[in-house]
Structure 1
Amino acid sequence: MRIFNTDATIVHTTHEGEHVRRQAIGLGHVNSLALLDVLMDLPVGTPVPISSVDTPNLRVLRKAPGGVVRVAGSAVTRLLMPVVTPVLAVVYASGWRDGLADASEFASYLPRMFVVDELPGNSDEALAEASWYGIGVAVGPPSAPAIVLEPEPLPDWQPTAAWWRFCERVYGFHVHGESVAHV
């Protein structure tokens, strides 16, 4: 997929129940950062008194597409949940510096690595730099690279509205091949 102005493979898992629910009601990916931010504060499937939601957030919820929330009586219930969970971004780079830069774009969202044809001449120093940033490295042709440095998990990672929007855009690409160039 094309994202952050680079081509990347986003390895992800899919929550099949949420995928089937969305397909049944015709709901694709949700791109509104404001809406996802409000939804982050609501539990999934549990009615919340409307009186506990402030007016600006309630306005955002009332504009949500069908299938995102249910407003019934004096309660609002969040129905939407992330449908994919990205677990690794793989960037295919023509050069070492490009690989480091492009893989770094994913630092806030998930572990990442890049694939290059060959290591640079100063391979120990180059791998130490990639390790410093937590970026994994694989070497060889894109069809069968060998991992020479494992990507590191994100330390103290917490989901954010921006992460959820990233997930939604990955889902949009996964289901419909939609462009997700601007996150």
Structure 2
Amino acid sequence: MLATISPPAGYGVAELQLDIDDTEHERRRAAGLGVATGHGFGGLDVLMALPHGLPVPLEALTDHQRAYVLRAPAGICTVTGGQVVRHVIRPCRVRLATVRAASASQLALDAADKFTTICARRVIITRPPSVHFPEKLLEFGSYGIGVCLQHPDGELETLVEPRPWRVKRHSAEDWWFAETAYGHFLAQQSPPASALSQAP
């Protein structure tokens, strides 16, 4: 499913379009698990080192990895018979960051540019282009940031298409951002309080 949220603190004012993994979302709900950001990047580094759904001998793990998986709740992984199986996967993908501004200013460009390593980006403006706008359009286009003009009736006119975003590499930082965005999504659901459990 698609959902729209505000970004985590530190990323300015924007709307994030999330593509929620419905299967993982339901699995976490059934397990009583919300976000999996316990221990920040460190815990996610451990999880990224484990293949999803395949058993790994505990003796093959480092002391740090073994300590983490032995404390993790069942929604994260299970340890049986001297082996650990990771269940958790990234709960969502951030598809698009949208910044709204009066015009295609440098501030709007900077706000959208914060999401360069995360997703596609666009700016929605409400003021029609000025005579100097073609140069600004080229600048936004060179950064891969789309520009749409919102007309008074609400219709959006695409002036610059956002550059499609492709995953270059998977990192714990990207997974952490997805978990944090997922936490914001959960907070918008009802009841919000019970959905925000964290892994150790």
Question: Shorter-normalised TM-score: what interval?
Answer: 0.7 to 0.9
> What is the DSSP-based 3-state SS (H/G/I as helix, E as strand, rest coil) of the residue aligned with 1:48?
strand
Unpaired runs of at least 5, structure 1: 179-183
Deviations 1:19-40 (A, max 9, x none): 1111112211122221112111
Moved over 4 A (4+): none
Sort the Cα spacing of 1:87 and 1:49 in 2 relative to 1 into closer, same or farther, 3 A: same
Sort the Cα spacing of 1:144 and 1:52 in 2 relative to 1 into closer, same or farther, 3 A: farther
By how many angstroms is 1:100 displaced? 0.6
Pairing 1:147–2:158 present: yes
Deviations 1:59-88 (A, max 9, x none): 233333441111112111111001111111
Which TM-score applies when normalising by structure 2? Answer: 0.80
Pairing 1:43–2:51 present: yes
By how many angstroms is 1:156 displaced? 6.0
RMSD: 2.1
Which TM-score applies when normalising by structure 1? Answer: 0.87
In structure 1, C-alpha distance between the alignment counterparts of 2:117 and 2:102, rounded to whole Å: 23
Match of 1:109 among 109, 118, 122: 118
Match of 2:26 among 13, 20, 23: 20
Judge conservation of contact 1:137–1:151 (CA < 8 Å) in 2: yes
The percent of aligned pairs where both chains have the same amino acid is 30
Unpaired runs of at least 5, structure 2: 1-5, 193-200
Deviations 1:128-155 (A, max 9, x none): 1111111111112595432211111236
